[in-house]
């Protein structure tokens, strides 16, 4: 296992970036959070505002219009957004840690020139791996890609696709040879307007309800060979290595969510009075709050250490799995505790406590379940 990279104090530039994202989240996003949750709709103007703020292309080099920063910077943005709205946070997370990451690592020069400037400025992206029969068994794909002239003809269905309803660009995995198993998996760059491509059912979810999760249909969808990402048959490698970074992003989302829940609980227990004093003055409340804050700090250290290892070019797979595993568990536990700290009102939709609780559950499921993280950690440590 890799040695931890020392955590450093934010530089002035990093602190300014954090403050700018926090201000955006609190002033621009916060007024719409409850309405978006109720309507299960992401306001397009918030996505546009995220592009304008420069947080949709954090790791993309400046020559393409991006910030030219690193995943530690992306983690800052994802955490700050999740403290206010985990739905918008995962929207930004998928753009940065999955799609942009894959394009940067695997695209050829022509693909970079064609897509990176738009991924920074106005083109929301989606990552499309899962299928009805392919979840934790990620490469049991049935979506088929058949070579046809200068194109591939794709047929199949994708499921549980984040950002799918609003996206204009899709990084999608299909197999060119089902008999070859994972060695047939190939990554394709698909634009929303391609013939034969359509967005289907939108899921009615427990949490992160403003974040769209949809089914995608490919019916004789013709994709130019120029839109194959990397090499034919190497999509499995792209998927695995991209998701390794994606786990750090989910960890950032979870610590932001937990922090948002704890911040709201802190305000409440300082204001709520019983028996003639604030309930924060009771030791039982203080101990619960202290335990939650300690668990949050431990999760934050795991997430930021995994990000720093990645930025340093050092092995980070085990640490990323640990960060996602622990932060998702901590977020669910902390959000649950915060509902209790609110008492009866925490069980109502008038307060954000119940929303953070609902939003937290997905952390142990998407981009690799907790059991899959445990398997990854054990395999790496036990050889």
Structure tokens at 126: 């989606």
Q: What is the CA radius of gyration of the chain?
A: 21
Residues 6+ apart with CB under 8 A from 163: 91, 94, 95, 124, 125, 126, 127, 211, 212
Residue 158, SS3 per DSSP: strand
Residues 330 and 366 in one domain: yes
Q: Is 147 a catalytic residue?
A: no
Residue 320, SS3 per DSSP: helix
Residues 33 and 77 in one domain: yes
Domain count, the chain: 3
| pLDDT surpassing 90 at residue 133 | no
Alpha-helical regions (H) of the chain = 12-24, 33-39, 44-53, 71-82, 86-93, 101-106, 109-121, 235-271, 283-311, 317-341, 353-360, 370-382
| pLDDT surpassing 50 at residue 50 | yes
Pairwise CA distance, residues 143 & 132, whole Å: 10
CATH number, residue 328: 1.20.140.10
Pairwise CA distance, residues 171 & 333, whole Å: 33
Q: Is 242 a domain residue?
A: yes
Tell me whether strands 185-191 and 228-229 are parallel, antiparallel or unpaired. antiparallel
Pairwise CA distance, residues 8 & 315, whole Å: 19
Q: Write down the pTM of the prediction.
A: 0.95
The 10s digit of each residue's pLDDT in 326-340 is 999 999 999 999 999
The 10s digit of each residue's pLDDT in 263-291 is 999 999 999 999 999 999 999 999 999 99
Structure tokens at 106: 């695997």
Percent of the chain residues topping a pLDDT of 90: 93
The 10s digit of each residue's pLDDT in 350-380 is 999 999 999 999 999 999 999 999 999 999 9
Q: What is the mean pLDDT of residues 20-34?
A: 98
Q: How is the chain split among helix, strand and coil, in percent rounded to 5?
A: 60, 15, 25
Domain hosting residue 96, numbered range: 12-124
| pLDDT surpassing 70 at residue 3 | no
| pLDDT surpassing 60 at residue 22 | yes
CATH number, residue 79: 1.10.540.10
Where does a domain end: 208, 233, 258? Answer: 233
The 10s digit of each residue's pLDDT in 137-186 is 878 899 999 999 999 999 999 999 999 999 999 999 999 999 999 999 99
Structure tokens at 259: 């922090």
Residues 106 and 141 in one domain: no
Q: What is the mean pLDDT of residues 26-33?
A: 98
The single residue of 80, 245, 319, 367 carrying the catalytic annotation is: 367
Residue 335, SS3 per DSSP: helix
| pLDDT surpassing 70 at residue 4 | no
Residue with tokens 């922090």: 259
Residues 288 and 377 in one domain: yes
Q: What is the mean pLDDT of residues 103-120?
A: 98
The 10s digit of each residue's pLDDT in 67-83 is 999 999 999 999 999 99
């Amino acid at each position: 296992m890799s040695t931890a990279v020392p955590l450093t104090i934010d530089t002035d530039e990093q602190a300014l970036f954090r403050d700018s994202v926090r201000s955006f989240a609190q002033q621009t996003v916060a007024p719409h959070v409850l309405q978006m949750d109720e309507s299960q709709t992401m306001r397009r103007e918030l996505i546009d505002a995220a592009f304008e703020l420069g947080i949709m292309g954090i790791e993309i080099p400046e020559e393409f219009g991006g910030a030219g920063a690193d995943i530690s910077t992306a983690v800052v943005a994802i955490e700050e957004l999740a403290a206010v709205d985990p739905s918008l946070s995962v929207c930004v997370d998928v753009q940065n840690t999955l799609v942009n990451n894959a394009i940067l690592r695997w695209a050829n020069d022509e693909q970079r020139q064609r897509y990176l400037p738009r991924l920074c400025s106005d083109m929301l992206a989606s990552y499309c791996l899962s299928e009805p029969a392919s979840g934790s068994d990620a490469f049991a794909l049935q979506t088929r890609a058949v070579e046809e002239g200068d194109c591939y003809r794709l047929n199949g269905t994708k499921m549980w696709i984040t950002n799918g309803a609003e996206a204009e660009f899709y990084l999608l995995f299909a197999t060119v040879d089902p008999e070859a198993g994972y060695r047939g998996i190939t990554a394709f760059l698909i634009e929303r307007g391609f013939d034969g491509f359509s967005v289907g059912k939108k899921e009615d979810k427990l949490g992160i309800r403003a974040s769209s999760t949809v089914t995608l249909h490919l019916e004789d969808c013709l994709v130019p060979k120029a839109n194959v990402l990397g090499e034919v048959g190497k999509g499995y490698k792209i998927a695995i290595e991209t998701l390794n970074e994606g786990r750090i992003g989910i960890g950032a989302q979870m610590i932001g969510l937990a922090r948002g829940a704890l911040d709201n609980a802190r305000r409440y227990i300082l204001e709520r009075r019983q028996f003639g004093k604030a309930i924060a003055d009771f030791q039982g409340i203080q101990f619960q709050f202290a335990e939650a804050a300690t668990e949050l700090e431990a999760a934050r250290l795991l997430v930021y250490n995994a990000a720093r290892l990645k930025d340093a070019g050092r092995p980070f797979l085990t640490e990323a799995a640990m960060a996602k595993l622990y932060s998702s568990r901590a977020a669910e536990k902390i959000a649950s505790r915060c509902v209790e700290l609110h008492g009866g009102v925490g069980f109502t939709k008038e307060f954000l406590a119940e929303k953070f609780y609902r939003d937290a559950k997905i952390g142990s499921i998407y981009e690799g379940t907790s059991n899959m993280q445990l398997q990854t950690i054990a395999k790496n440590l036990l050889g």
